[in-house]
Amino acid sequence: MSKPRIHCKGIDPRAARSSGFTLVELVITVALAAIILSAAVPSFRDLVQNNRITAQVNEFVTALNVARSEAVKRGATLRVTALDGSDASNEFGMGWRVWFDADGDNTFDAGEELRESAALTGGATLDSVSVPAVTELQYLASGLLNIGAATTFELRIPECRGNQARDVTILPTGRATITSIACA
């Protein structure tokens, strides 16, 4: 004895068996996805680049502000020094150190650092446009820099687009300002 077939009322049994996409529907969906992604990927890349350069410039300016405020607080000179100033085209790109010369020997000794930053990521460069290039800044106890004129540092990234370049200008008063610069 065979089992009777039970059908839901109003549903065609042939329609219940066919499901899925046709080849034409799949091709159209993939084409639309490709068009949408081709527009979204460059925008996402710009977003990542903008966030990276903003974070890097903010980290540098924060180090300068820490050095300035600590110099005033301690009533002594604090220094911001490039970790590897040997590369004339990327003085501070290899990182920097904020330190206090506790023993007065004008050289960095273990335990004198207040803050240290690692090298910039993504091929970014941070270099002084002063001649000669600046590899150390000294904040005096008054919060002023030991320089007579403003000093500018250029932060650049590879494949820069739009206004992704940044300049950091440090005035003799010790105050740092950030300027967005159009990529060359």
Task: Look at residue 64 in the predicted model and tell me its pLDDT.
Answer: 95
Task: Specify the pTM.
Answer: 0.75
**Segment 92-118, tens digit of pLDDT:** 888 999 989 888 788 888 888 889 999
Sequence-distant (6+) residues with CB within 8 A of 84 are 94, 95
Residue boundaries of the structural domains of the chain: 21-181
* 89, pLDDT greater than 80: no
The answer to whether residues 80 and 139 touch, using CB atoms and an 8 Å cutoff, is: yes
Specify the CATH architecture of the domain 21-181: 3-Layer(bab) Sandwich (3.55)
pLDDT value at position 38? Answer: 79
pLDDT at residue 161, rounded to an integer: 79
Percentages helix, strand, coil for the chain, rounded to the nearest 5? 30, 25, 45
Which residues lie across from 127 on neighbouring strands? 154
What is the pairing mode between strands 165-170 and 151-156? antiparallel
Q: What percent of the chain has pLDDT over 70?
A: 84
What average pLDDT is seen over the chain?
Answer: 84
pLDDT, one tens digit per residue, over 28-87 is 999 998 888 877 666 777 888 888 899 999 999 999 999 999 999 999 999 999 987 565
User: Which of the four pLDDT bands, split at 50, 70 and 90, describes residue 16?
Assistant: low
Here the tokens at position 79 are 């220094």
pLDDT band at 17 (very low <50, low <70, confident <90, very high): low
Dist CA 48 CA 50 (whole Å): 6
DSSP secondary structure string, 15-65? HHH--S--HHHHHHHHHHHHHHHHHHHHHHHHHHHHHHHHHHHHHHHHHHH
